[in-house]
């Protein structure tokens, strides 16, 4: 029987979850790169596919599994400190806060009311929600792109402060290229700011310039691969793109039954924020590359 793409991804994500469980048992915290390797996925895409398949982020899975390990101590009515030790939390206070946030009850209440234990353990053993599919009402389609060239710089820091990165990019590019030769504003997000500390988020600011310009200093010459892409057009503040990016992944997996390619997604900014008064009218295309032969 032919497996669809969701089933294939589910098998890979199950391997990652098993690795998380084994790591938590050893007291370790697996990295996203480590889990992506286990799941045989690109680190560019792993955390987003993980989220649409499980309905939660990797960090939420780790916390849930750690808390589930505390239930045996509570069931034996041992001190809350023992439960904290079982779950790997450094202090009883940190454990208590996490347990209350996840279960809605305090650890001491659960310890003293055994009837609550089974329901809470059942909740902790599975994600709180499933990931929904993409809505057919979205402005979303599959397009074919020819490969094209960009000049780019790497920005590391809060995505909310990307304006400074683009100002620097424009300054470097316009030292070599006439403004009339600019063909488009692009971005390549390499991290998800919902799960990566803002100071560590990597983002390549890019300008399409045709054949004009060259690498120099921090300015790199890049090639955007051609092929099939999910194109999701979003209208709104550019700082709020990431939930829509999740919808592009869900559309690829659930609607198209396609695998994503082993390369990062691309953002095409269709409007210049300095020229549009209402930031809620800004248009951007989310371009998610699809694997060939899938």
What are the chain's domains? 5-124 (1.10.10.60), 140-289 (3.20.80.10)
Residue tagged 């996490």 (tokens): 98
The token pair at 256 is 């198209």
Residues 6+ apart with CB under 8 A from 110: 71, 74, 99, 103, 116, 117, 120
Residues 6+ apart with CB under 8 A from 267: 186, 187, 188, 189, 241, 284, 285, 286, 287
pLDDT, the chain, mean: 84
User: Greater confidence, 289 or 86?
Assistant: 289
This prediction has a pTM of: 0.75
Is the per-residue pLDDT at 128 higher than 70? no
Confidence of residue 117 (pLDDT cuts 50, 70, 90): low
User: Greater confidence, 85 or 24?
Assistant: 24
| Digit-coded pLDDT (tens) for 194-242 | 888 999 999 999 999 999 999 999 999 999 999 999 999 998 888 778 7
Q: What is the pLDDT of residue 129?
A: 47
| Digit-coded pLDDT (tens) for 52-96 | 888 888 888 888 888 877 777 777 777 777 777 777 777 778 777
User: Greater confidence, 276 or 40?
Assistant: 40
Is the per-residue pLDDT at 135 higher than 70? no
Beta-carbon neighbour count of residue 212 at 10 Å?
A: 17
Report the half-sphere exposure of 187 (CA within 13 A, side-chain side): 23
């Amino acid at each position: 029987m032919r497996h669809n793409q969701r089933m294939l991804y589910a098998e890979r994500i199950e391997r990652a979850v098993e690795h998380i469980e084994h790591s938590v048992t050893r007291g370790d915290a697996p990295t996203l790169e480590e889990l992506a390797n286990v799941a045989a996925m690109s680190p560019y895409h792993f955390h987003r596919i993980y989220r649409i398949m499980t309905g939660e982020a990797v960090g939420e899975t780790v916390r849930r599994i750690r808390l589930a390990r505390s239930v045996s101590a509570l069931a034996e009515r041992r001190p809350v400190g023992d439960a904290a030790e079982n779950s790997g939390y450094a202090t009883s206070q940190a454990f208590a806060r996490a347990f209350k946030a996840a279960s809605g009850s305090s650890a001491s209440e659960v310890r003293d009311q055994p009837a609550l234990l089974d329901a809470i353990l059942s909740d902790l053993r599975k994600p709180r929600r499933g990931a929904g599919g993409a809505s057919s009402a979205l402005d979303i389609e599959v397009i074919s792109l020819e490969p094209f060239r960009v000049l780019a710089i790497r920005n590391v820091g809060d995505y909310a402060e990307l304006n400074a990165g683009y100002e620097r990019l424009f300054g470097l590019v316009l030292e070599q290229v006439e403004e009339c030769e600019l063909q488009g504003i692009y971005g390549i997000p390499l991290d998800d700011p919902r799960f990566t500390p803002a100071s560590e988020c990597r983002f390549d600011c890019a300008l399409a310039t045709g054949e004009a310009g060259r690498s120099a200093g921090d300015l790199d010459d890049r090639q955007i691969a051609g092929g099939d892409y999910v194109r999701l057009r979003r209208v709104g503040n550019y700082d709020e793109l990431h939930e829509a990016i999740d919808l592009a992944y869900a559309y690829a997996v659930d609607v198209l039954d396609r695998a994503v390619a082993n390369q990062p997604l691309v953002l095409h900014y269709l409007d210049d924020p300095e020229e549009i008064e209402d930031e809620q009218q800004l248009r951007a295309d989310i371009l998610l590359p699809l694997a060939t032969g899938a």
